[in-house]
Amino acid sequence: MSLRIFYSPIFREHRPEGYHPENPTRLDYAIRGLSENGLWDEEKILEPSPASPSDLLLIHDGEYVERIRGLEGSFSYLDPDTYVSPGTWEAALSAVGAARAAVEAAVEDRGLYLALVRPPGHHAGRSGRAFNASTLGFCIFNNSAFAAYTLKERRGRAVVIDFDAHHGNGTQEIFWNDGDVVHIDLHERDIYPWSGYEHDIGGRGAEGSKVNLPMPHYSTDDDYILAWMEIVLPVLEETKPDAVVVSAGFDGFLGESLTTLRLTERFFRYAGATLSRYPLAVIFEGGYSVGLMRALPAFVKGYLEGSVEERGIEPSYEAIRTVKTVLEIQREFWGI
Ligand SMILES: [Zn+2]
């Protein structure tokens, strides 16, 4: 099973003035975690070509793209969370290009293709903030949505799994009425961006193509493994995808400070292993410290090794209840 990483130093050129959790050091953490696990060497690294501004119009509206382009060259804040710096425009175009390259490589050849990109993307909707979110949540253009769009163009449909600790509201908004894009999203409930609840199943004609798992605060590996076993894997099996786009955030890892989730290597290794039968385009989203050093390599190793230790799980009552609710709602659309 092969691993290739689309990466460019240009992704460091999107940088804050002063302290901000979404900064170039995140790439150092990710590279350190991969290196320490023997997953980073020069042969695996590929330089992505940037997307063109007109490519962006496939997932964003022209006014939003021009607004970002117009900020090129100086530092400003789009909203209280999200900055644009002199290198942002080029970094963001290359991030979208890397997402496209990863999904194209995944459909051509089995294996895991990681787009190790900044700025992140899954909160960016068609024209910026999605579903009335308060901010863009550090995101500029939606890299995962672009990967999903590319996959759908090639194969007629696409599947996205988003396990970032926050709801992938931008991706979901972009494909809300598109039943050919199945989007399964696990995230902590009742935190930013305050969307992605059980009854959010997609727009008219696309019902059931959006599967939201708003997990309880303080969820553990066992809670996430339950949701993964009961819902993510059966839905995935039923769609029989040629390749899967993973919107991969590692901010649910224990010790990451933006959420209360308490995931460890165990969940991420398990998730990677269970996806090893599918070619993957893994698009880098959140994760700000220890999750990048530990959860990212655990996910990749799980995928490459392809097996998981069988062990019983003890999910919380709240997690069981959430999974049951989702099963009851989605049963109308899926054989689950
Ligand atoms: Zn996140």
Q: What are the tens digits of pLDDT across the range 144-201?
A: 999 999 999 999 999 999 999 999 999 999 999 999 999 999 999 999 999 999 999 9
Ligand 1 centroid–CA 306 distance in Å is 26
Ligand 1 centre and the CA of 252: distance in Å?
Answer: 8
CATH number of 3-330: 3.40.800.20
Q: What's the 9 CA to ligand 1 centre distance in angstroms?
A: 22
Residue 200 and residue 287: Cα distance in Å, rounded? Answer: 25
Q: What is the mean pLDDT of residues 274-302?
A: 97
pLDDT above 80 for 32: yes
Burial pattern 118-152, b for ≥16 Cβ within 10 A else e, equals bbbbbbbbbebbbbebebbbbbbbbbbbbbbbbbb
The answer to whether 60 is a known catalytic residue is no
pTM: 0.97
Report the separation in Å between the CA atom of 196 and the middle of ligand 1, taken as the mean of its atom positions.
13
The answer, yes or no, to whether residue 76 has pLDDT greater than 80, is: yes
Give the pLDDT of residue 122. 98
Task: Determine the pLDDT at residue 242.
Answer: 93
Residues with CB under 5 A from ligand 1 (ion): 164-166, 249, 251, 286
Task: Name the pLDDT band for 311 (thresholds 50, 70, 90).
Answer: confident
Q: Are the beta carbons of 286 and 258 closer than 8 angstroms?
A: yes
Q: How are beta strands 181-188 and 210-215 bridged, if at all?
A: parallel
pLDDT single digits (tens) 201-215: 999 999 999 999 999
Mean pLDDT for 233-245 is 96
68 alpha carbon – ligand 1 mean position (Å) = 22
pLDDT at 81 over 80: yes
DSSP track, 159-182 = EEEE-SSS--HHHHHHTTT-TTEE
Residue 1 has pLDDT above 80, yes or no: no
| pLDDT surpasses 80 at 315 | yes
Separation of alpha carbons 231 and 327, rounded Å: 7
Run of H or E residues at 274: helix 265-274
Give mean pLDDT, residues 22-42. Answer: 97
Instruction: List the catalytic residue out of 14, 123, 166, 187.
Output: 123
* Cα 285 to ligand 1 centroid, rounded to whole Å: 7
Q: Rounded mean pLDDT of 122-143?
A: 96
Ligand 1 mean position to 288 CA, how many Å? 9
Q: How far is the CA of 249 from the centre of ligand 1 (A)?
A: 6
Contact status, residue 152 vs residue 244, Cβ threshold 8 Å: no
Please give the pLDDT value at position 307.
85
172 alpha carbon, distance to own chain's centre: 11
Place of tokens 């933006």: 258
Torsion, CA 262, CA 268, CA 270, CA 275, rounded to 10: 140
